A and B are shown apart, each in its own frame.
Chain A
Amino acid sequence: MRQFVVIGLGRFGITVAKILAKKGFQVIAIDSDEERVRDASEFATIAVQLDATDSASLQKIGLKDVDAAIVAVGENISASILITMICKDAGIPTVISKATNPLQGKILAKIGADKVVFPERDMGEKLAESLASPGIFDYISVSKDHSIMEISAPSVFIGKTLGDVDLRAKYGVTVIAIKHKVPGIDEQGESTFSQEIIIAPTSKDTISKGDTLVVLGKIKDLERLKGLI
């Protein structure tokens, strides 16, 4: 069974630890704060209070079987760098470190972090995109030039098939999924809906009112599509 160590149990770290534990993985949760460790002990396999910048203390808890470490102490830059180095030196195969700014990210990458994540930046990007265009529900950056966007189906598409709207030819983007709501009545006799997701829809699939289109494309092409929302 895969084993993870999460160092730093602030908002980001505790969320990662909780979800990994919920998915059935073994999680070692570490923080220097007693209260955070106590909270984590409710779901983590082991929750330990220690100063992770102390290499000897960290080694004592035994990291040799850990598959991946998540260093979630981004705000304390020197601590995040030191802990990342300790984890790499301990031989943990994958070390993922949180950064709060690009310079910190570059340093973490240089000293051996296998992946650097910027949760605040990523969330800020998503929020700005959805504020700029209210019809955008989610926005995922895939590469420097490509993104995935979840958009409310524009009214001009309703009742048409994907073949009719031909987004690939007209905008150079691909609809990779359609989230479709199916109306129903619940046990109490009130209105409800279930969500049906059509993955890799074909040209024959119809776009209905209330559908969400998951669209992949170059950022500049998605920008053109936004004009329809």
Chain B
Amino acid sequence: MKKKPELNDLIEIAKFNFLSSRYEAAINIWKNALKLSPNNPQIYYNMGIAYESLNNLEDAKICFQKVIELQPENKQAKEHLENIVGA
């Protein structure tokens, strides 16, 4: 029987894809990871970075805003959002 991927496996595979510049693949895996762990700021943050790497600033903004909503003290997410929005 095929084992369902664990959350940690998905996270590692997504990061591996990201490091290999396979940004869309990484984003798809982050989306699958969200199904296992919705409202997970780590997933949203990494997805935001992947979108930003693709110059998809609209979706990156949404991800970073979600991180800040879930983790108001997240400095890195705030910095990335400021970079995108300009303030």
A binds B: yes
Report if B54 contacts A (CB, 8 A). Answer: yes
In the complex, whether A191 has a CB less than 8 A from a CB of chain B is yes
| Chain B residues within 8 Å of chain A by Cβ, number | 17
Would B45 and A209 count as touching, CB distance under 8 A? no
How many chain-A residues does the 8 Å CB contact rule pick out?
Answer: 16
Query: In the assembled complex, how far is the CB of residue B78 from the closest CB belonging to chain A, in whole angstroms?
Result: 14
| From A135, A152, A183, A212, contact of B18 by CB (8 A) | A183
A183 CB to nearest chain B CB (Å): 5
- Interface status of A124 (Cβ within 8 A of chain B): no
Q: Report how far A186 CA is from B79 CA in the complex, Å.
A: 15
Q: Are B55 and A191 in contact, with the CB atoms below 8 A?
A: no
Does more than half of chain A's interface fall in helix, strand or loop, or is it mixed? strand
Q: Does B15 contact A (CB under 8 A)?
A: yes
Asked if A210 and B55 sit within 8 Å, CB to CB, the answer is yes
Task: Look across to chain A and name the residue whose beta carbon is closest to the beta carbon of B48.
Answer: A191
A182-212 at interface with B (beta carbon < 8 Å): 183-186, 190-193, 208-210, 212
Question: CB within 8 Å of B: which residues of A?
Answer: 135, 152-153, 181, 183-186, 190-193, 208-210, 212
Q: Which residues of B contact A (CB under 8 A)?
A: 15, 18-21, 23, 26, 42, 45-46, 49-50, 52-55, 76
Q: List 16 A-B contacts (CB under 8 A).
A: A152-B55, A153-B55, A181-B53, A183-B19, A183-B53, A184-B19, A185-B19, A186-B76, A190-B45, A191-B26, A191-B45, A191-B50, A192-B49, A209-B23, A209-B54, A210-B53
